[in-house]
Chains A and B, each alone.
Chain A
Amino acid sequence: MNALAAIGEVLVLLGTFFYFLSALGLIRMPDVYNRMQTSTKSATLGSLGVMVGVGIWALGTDFGSIPWLTKTIVIAVFLLLTNPISAHALIRAAYKSGIPLWEGSVVDKYREHLEAKEREEVEETPAEEGGEE
């Protein structure tokens, strides 16, 4: 019984440590994209650790029962599914509204891709018109 409580405590500690790291990343990183990168990943992992840890911790105590673990796992899975999607939507919206990359960034393949697409469209339209004539 106490081994379960110990495992849960270790997991919660790990989770809070990753929460701390994500908060640190929020202050430390230079631009939006890097900040999102550090904060969302470690916050997701931290939440998973804390929630599953709480479930296991409760199992090791005398008031704990299986429903604790079930509920925490359900919440953890929900968070695991939704957090990356929200991070993706935020980042995409940030890029689309023109927030620049950090000046130290080397490569921006997405812009290249968008520009290539635009060029293709520009090249295609006169060709079609020429064909009609």
Chain B
Amino acid sequence: MLKRALAIILLLIVGYWLAQGLAGVPFGQDKMLVGQYYLDNVKQQTGAVNAVTAVVVNYRGFDTLGEVTVLFIASTGVGALLWRRKKERTARTEGSIVLTTGTRLLVPFVMLFGAYIFIHGHLTPGGGFPGGATIATAFLLLYLAFITYEIPHKGFEKTEGIAGMSYVIVGLIGLSIGGYFLFDWIWQTWNFGTENVGRLLSGGFIPIIYTIIGLKVGTELSGIIDNMLKEEVSE
């Protein structure tokens, strides 16, 4: 009781403190410094209509590389923590026939939608991470509906590694062509798609990077699900 009261009082103090700090910030006024530059130049410099993905992949591509690395480490960490010599799925009850049939019907559509999200990252909201998470959701559905389902491990782990490597390689190509790491060579050197901004074949390397990230995130999250759903079997 005393503990709870103390915690509430502490939270109230912290909340009041934060509110005091935010009270001086003029929301809704034109105070953009960097943001205005992004909004003014995003179409000419990157070819993306979606300014968020342009910032995430082009202007601040290094952060995205870091995020992908974080996810990779998370997946590897789960794999290392839950490592057993022999693991199997120990689920006992199969999903009802409604669930399994529904899953069979829906999984292709969920995957298609995930691919749609990451392919259209430069045009519509979304990008690689939501698209990849949607694809992982499809695999989670399969895991929940069928007791014996397992992802194809060999292909998955290879795809994960190849996708991570190709992100770095795309960045390194930019470096070798005469820019900097993660320099958008497709847009700025090749001028590919400069005349159809707002259509699918534009956006420089954003669609390519996001396809890579989508595959990577999808396989990685599915791998985490797979690791967590399995239990050790005594031989």
Contact = CB atoms under 8 A, between A and B. Distances in A.
Interface stretch (A15-23, A77-85, A115-123): A77-85
Contacts of B99: 85, 88-89
A28 interface: no
Interface residues of B, number: 9
Interface in B104-122: 105-106, 109
B102 A92 contact: no
A85 B106 CA distance: 11
Main SS at interface, chain A: helix
A81 B96 contact: no
B95 interface: yes
Nearest to A92: B96
A78 B98 contact: no
A78 B112 CA distance: 13
Contacts of B106: 81-82, 85
A88 B105 contact: no
Contacts of A82: 102, 106
A96 B95 CA distance: 12
Nearest to B102: A85
A81 B98 CA distance: 11
Interface string B66-108: 0000000000000000000000000001011011001001100
Contact of A78 (B95, B96, B109): B109
Interface string A60-98: 000000000000000000100110010011001000100
A105 B60 CA distance: 61
B96 A88 contact: yes
Contacts of B105: 81
Contacts of B96: 88-89, 92
Given A88-B96, A89-B99, 4 more contacts: A82-B102, A85-B102, A85-B106, A89-B95
Interface of A: 78, 81-82, 85, 88-89, 92, 96
Interface of B: 93, 95-96, 98-99, 102, 105-106, 109
List 3 tightest A-B contacts by C-beta distance, closest first. Answer: A85-B102, A88-B98, A89-B99
